C-alpha cells in the first residue's frame, strides 16, 4: 500500500483508537478509583468496614477481571444492548472497555492503598477528620505516585484491549493492522502500526514515570 | 485539682479473629483519674493495654463497657460523628510520628487547622508560631523524609498542639528516638505542660521517661492498672512486682548479688547500702554521722538521680574503723535513713 492511501486510513484509525482509549481512561479511571476506594474502605478493620459491601465488590472484581476480553465482549452483550442500544460499533465496544477497565483499575487502586501506613490514617482520625476528608487529603495524596504508575499501566492495558476493536466493528489501529497488514500480507502496514503504538506507549510511560517521580516525596 | 480524664470501669474487648483464638480484653475494668495540668504516665510492657487505654481517651477506640469522661463529656454515649469534635480537641503524638509524606512540615502542622476550618491566613500565622515553639521554624518547607527522628517528632508535637488542645496524648513518643533526642523531646513535652498548661498523658515502656517528667504514674499489666500514685512514691516504695522490675530498669544504684560478691573481694570493711532521698539521708547527713563516730566511709557503688525532680538513689559504702564504732555508726545511720547491711566478708 502506498503512503498516499495509507495516510488517511491511519488518520481515521488513530482517531478511533484515541476515542476508545481516552473515554475508557476517563470512565475507567473514575469508576476504578471509586470501586478501589470502596474495596479499601470497607475491608474489615478499615474506616467504613462493611463485610457485605466488601464481599460484593471483591467478588465482582474477581469475576470480571480474569475473563479474557474477547469473551467478556460477548458475555456483556445483553447489558451493552440495554445501555447503548446495540451490541456492535465503537460505542458498544467502548462501553465494554470502560466496564473491564474499571474493575482492572479498582484492584490496582486497592493494592496501592493498602501500602499506606495505617498510622497516618489513624493520625488524621485523631485530628477529627471525617472519612471523606481522609480519602481526599490522606489516602489519595499519600498513594499518588503508585496511583499514577497504576494509571499508566492501565493506559497500556486499555490500548491493548482496543486492538480487537475490529471484532465489533469499532475500527482503530489494531483493526487496521489486522485487516490491511495481516489479512492482505502487507507487512509495511503492520510495521507502521506497531511503530506508532510502541511510540505512544513509550511516550505515556515516560510521562507517567516523571509525574510519579514528582509526586514521590520520599 | 479536678480530673480532666476519668476512666470508669472502662473495658475494651477485641473479638477473636474469625474462627480461632480468643477474644482479647485489652483494657479490663480500669478506673482512673487524670488531673488537670499534670503529666500522667502509663507504663507497662508491650501488650499490657496501655496503647488501647490512651485511644479510649480520644475515642479512636470505644469502650465495650464502662465509660470514659473527658472534660465532662461522657464518650460512651456519643456516636462517631459527635466524637470527631472531641478528637479535634485532644492532641496526639505517635511513636512512628505518622506524618503525611506528601506534605511539607508546614502542611502537616496546618492539617488539623484545615479540619477545624481555620482560614488560610489564620493557619499560616498559627503554623509559624508553632514551628517557632518547637524549634524547627527553619524546616517549614521541608518534606518529612528529609528530617531526623527528633525533628519529625517536633513536627508531630507542633501538629498535636495546633488547635490549642487541653489534653496531649503521647503514645511512646520517644521510643523510636536515640537517648539524647529522647531528652530533648521530653523537655519539650515538659514545656508544653508548664508553659501552655496542657495536661499530658504519656504512654511508655521506659521507666526513665516516667522518672524524668511524670508527676503521677499508673502501672499496667494484662489490661489492668496494678498500681497508681505519685511518681516519687511509686519509685521509692513500689508495691507491685511489675513496678519493681520497672524501677530496677531505671535505677541501677543498688548492687546485685554478683556485684556485691566482687565488692567483697576488693573491700575488706563492712559494706552497707544507705538510701538517699528527699526526706531521709542526704549525703551530707550520712557523712556527718560517720565523722561523729570516727568511721571512714568510702563510696564503692551507687548513684543519686532525680525522680519527679526530687533526689533519689542510694550509696553503697565501705565502713572502716574500730568494730564497735562501726556498729554504732550503722545504728545511727538506721535512725536517719534505710540501711541495707551487707556485713563483712568472712575471713
Average pLDDT over residues A25-34: 96
The predicted structure's pLDDT at residue B1: 56
Average pLDDT, chain A: 92
- Measured between CA atoms, the residue of chain A closest to residue B15 is A45
pLDDT digits (tens, 9 = 90+) for B162-176: 999 999 999 999 998
pLDDT digits (tens, 9 = 90+) for A113-135: 999 999 999 999 999 999 999 99
Which of B92, B100, B116 lies nearest to residue A126, judging by beta carbons? B92
Contacts of B115 in chain A (CB under 8 A): 127-129, 133
Q: Is the pLDDT of residue A217 over 70?
A: no
Is A177 in contact with A168 (CB distance < 8 Å)? no
Using a CB–CB cut-off of 8 Å, the residues of A that contact B are 117, 119-120, 122-130, 133, 137-138, 141-142, 144, 215, 217-218
- The span from the CA of A33 to the CA of B222, in Å, is 42
Is A123 in contact with B111 (CB distance < 8 Å)? no
**Residue A78 CB burial class (10 angstroms; 0-12, 13-18, ≥19):** exposed
Tell me which residue of A130, A109, A131, A169 sits closest to B88, measured CA to CA: A130
The predicted structure's pLDDT at residue B347: 43
| More confident of the two residues B288 and A30 | A30
Q: Name, in order, each residue with C-beta under 8 angstroms of B251's C-beta and a sequence gap of 6 or more.
A: B211, B235, B303, B305, B312, B313
Is B86 in contact with B59 (CB distance < 8 Å)? yes
Tell me which residue of B104, B210, B204 sits closest to B159, measured CA to CA: B104
Contacts of B145 in chain A (CB under 8 A): 217-218
pLDDT digits (tens, 9 = 90+) for A63-115: 999 999 999 999 999 999 999 999 888 999 999 999 999 999 999 999 999 99
**Secondary element (H or E) of residue A113:** helix A90-113
User: Which sign, positive or negative, has the C-alpha torsion A189, A194, A195, A200?
Assistant: positive
- CA B112 to chain CA centroid, Å, is 26
Q: How far is CA B154 from CA B151, B158, B167, in A?
A: 5, 6, 17
Fold classification of A19-171 (topology level): MetI-like fold (1.10.3720)
SS3 A189: helix
Contacts of B84 in chain A (CB under 8 A): 128-130
Is B242 in contact with B219 (CB distance < 8 Å)? yes
| More confident of the two residues B245 and A39 | A39
Is B327 in contact with B290 (CB distance < 8 Å)? no
- Residue B274's CB is within 10 A of a number of other CB atoms, namely 26
- Please give the biggest Cα pair distance in chain B: 81
- Residue B201's CB is within 10 A of a number of other CB atoms, namely 26
The domain spans of chain A are 19-171
- CA B338 to chain CA centroid, Å, is 26
Strands B270-277 and B339-341, sheet pairing: antiparallel
User: Looking at this predicted complex, what is its ipTM?
Assistant: 0.84
DSSP code of B111?
Answer: H
Set out the domains of chain B in order of their start, with CATH numbers: 3-250 (3.40.50.300), 257-343 (3.30.70.260)
Put simply, whether B112 touches A (Cβ < 8 Å) is yes
Q: Is the pLDDT of residue B121 over 90?
A: yes
| Prediction pTM value | 0.85
The predicted structure's pLDDT at residue A27: 97
Helix residue ranges, H only, chain B: 50-57, 80-88, 105-115, 120-134, 149-161, 179-196, 207-213, 231-236, 241-250, 257-266, 283-292, 323-336
The predicted structure's pLDDT at residue B280: 66
- Measured between CA atoms, the residue of chain B closest to residue A141 is B102
Tell me which residue of B59, B246, B181, B231 sits closest to A128, measured CA to CA: B59
- The span from the CA of B306 to the CA of B251, in Å, is 10
pLDDT digits (tens, 9 = 90+) for A134-163: 999 999 999 999 999 999 999 999 999 998
- Grid cell, residue B179, equals 537517648
- Grid cell, residue A102, equals 474499571
The predicted structure's pLDDT at residue B19: 64
Q: Is the pLDDT of residue A39 over 60?
A: yes
Put simply, whether B311 touches A (Cβ < 8 Å) is no
Is B94 in contact with B156 (CB distance < 8 Å)? yes
Amino acid at each position: 500500500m502506498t503512503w498516499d492511501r495509507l495516510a488517511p486510513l491511519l488518520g481515521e484509525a488513530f482517531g478511533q483508537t484515541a476515542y476508545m482509549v481516552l473515554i475508557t481512561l476517563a470512565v475507567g479511571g473514575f469508576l476504578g478509583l471509586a470501586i478501589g476506594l470502596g474495596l479499601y474502605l470497607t475491608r474489615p478493620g478499615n474506616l467504613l468496614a462493611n463485610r457485605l459491601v466488601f464481599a460484593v465488590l471483591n467478588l465482582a472484581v474477581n469475576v470480571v477481571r480474569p475473563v479474557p476480553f474477547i469473551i467478556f465482549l460477548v458475555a456483556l452483550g445483553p447489558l451493552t444492548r440495554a445501555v447503548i442500544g446495540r451490541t456492535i460499533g465503537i460505542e458498544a465496544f467502548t462501553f465494554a472497555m470502560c466496564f473491564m477497565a474499571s474493575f482492572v483499575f479498582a484492584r490496582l487502586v486497592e493494592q496501592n492503598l493498602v501500602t499506606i501506613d495505617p498510622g497516618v490514617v489513624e493520625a488524621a482520625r485523631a485530628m477529627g477528620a471525617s472519612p471523606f476528608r481522609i480519602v481526599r487529603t490522606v489516602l489519595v495524596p499519600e498513594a499518588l505516585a503508585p496511583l499514577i504508575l497504576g494509571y499508566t499501566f492501565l493506559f497500556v492495558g486499555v490500548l491493548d484491549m482496543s486492538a480487537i476493536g475490529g471484532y465489533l466493528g469499532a475500527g482503530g489501529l489494531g483493526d487496521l493492522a489486522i485487516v490491511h497488514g495481516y489479512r492482505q500480507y502487507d507487512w509495511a502496514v503492520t510495521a507502521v502500526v506497531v511503530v506508532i503504538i510502541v511510540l505512544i506507549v513509550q511516550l505515556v510511560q515516560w510521562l507517567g514515570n516523571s509525574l510519579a517521580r514528582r509526586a514521590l516525596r520520599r | 485539682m479536678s480530673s480532666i480524664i476519668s476512666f470508669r470501669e472502662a473495658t475494651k474487648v477485641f473479638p477473636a479473629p474469625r474462627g480461632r483464638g480468643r477474644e482479647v480484653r485489652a483494657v479490663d475494668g480500669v478506673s482512673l483519674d487524670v488531673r488537670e495540668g499534670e503529666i500522667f504516665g502509663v507504663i507497662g510492657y508491650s501488650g499490657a493495654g496501655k496503647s488501647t487505654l490512651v485511644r479510649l481517651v480520644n475515642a479512636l477506640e470505644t469502650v465495650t463497657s464502662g465509660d470514659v469522661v473527658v472534660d465532662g463529656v461522657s464518650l460512651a454515649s456519643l456516636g462517631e460523628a459527635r466524637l470527631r469534635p472531641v478528637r479535634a480537641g485532644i492532641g496526639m503524638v505517635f511513636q512512628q510520628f505518622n506524618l503525611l509524606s506528601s506534605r511539607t512540615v508546614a502542611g502537616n502542622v496546618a492539617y488539623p487547622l484545615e479540619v477545624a476550618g481555620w482560614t488560610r491566613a489564620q493557619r499560616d500565622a498559627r503554623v509559624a508560631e508553632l514551628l517557632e515553639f518547637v524549634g524547627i521554624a527553619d524546616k517549614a518547607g521541608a518534606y518529612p523524609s528529609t528530617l531526623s527522628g527528633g525533628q519529625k517528632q517536633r513536627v508531630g508535637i507542633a501538629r498535636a498542639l495546633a488547635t490549642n488542645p487541653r489534653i496531649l496524648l503521647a503514645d511512646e513518643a520517644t521510643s523510636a528516638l536515640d537517648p539524647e533526642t529522647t531528652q530533648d523531646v521530653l523537655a519539650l513535652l515538659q514545656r508544653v505542660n508548664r508553659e501552655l498548661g496542657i495536661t499530658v498523658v504519656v504512654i511508655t515502656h521506659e521507666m526513665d521517661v516516667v522518672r524524668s517528667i511524670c508527676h503521677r504514674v499508673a502501672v499496667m499489666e494484662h489490661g489492668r492498672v496494678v498500681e497508681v500514685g505519685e511518681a516519687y512514691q511509686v519509685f521509692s516504695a513500689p508495691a507491685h512486682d511489675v513496678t519493681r522490675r520497672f524501677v530496677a530498669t531505671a535505677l541501677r544504684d543498688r548492687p546485685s548479688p554478683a556485684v556485691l560478691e566482687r565488692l567483697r573481694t576488693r573491700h575488706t570493711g563492712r559494706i552497707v547500702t544507705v538510701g538517699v532521698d528527699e526526706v531521709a539521708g542526704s549525703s551530707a547527713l550520712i557523712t556527718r554521722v560517720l565523722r561523729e563516730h570516727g568511721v571512714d566511709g568510702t563510696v564503692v557503688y551507687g548513684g543519686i538521680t532525680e525522680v519527679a525532680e526530687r533526689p533519689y538513689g542510694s550509696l553503697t559504702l565501705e565502713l572502716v574503723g574500730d568494730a564497735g564504732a562501726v556498729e554504732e555508726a550503722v545504728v545511727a545511720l538506721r535512725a536517719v535513713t534505710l540501711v541495707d547491711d551487707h556485713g563483712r566478708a568472712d575471713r
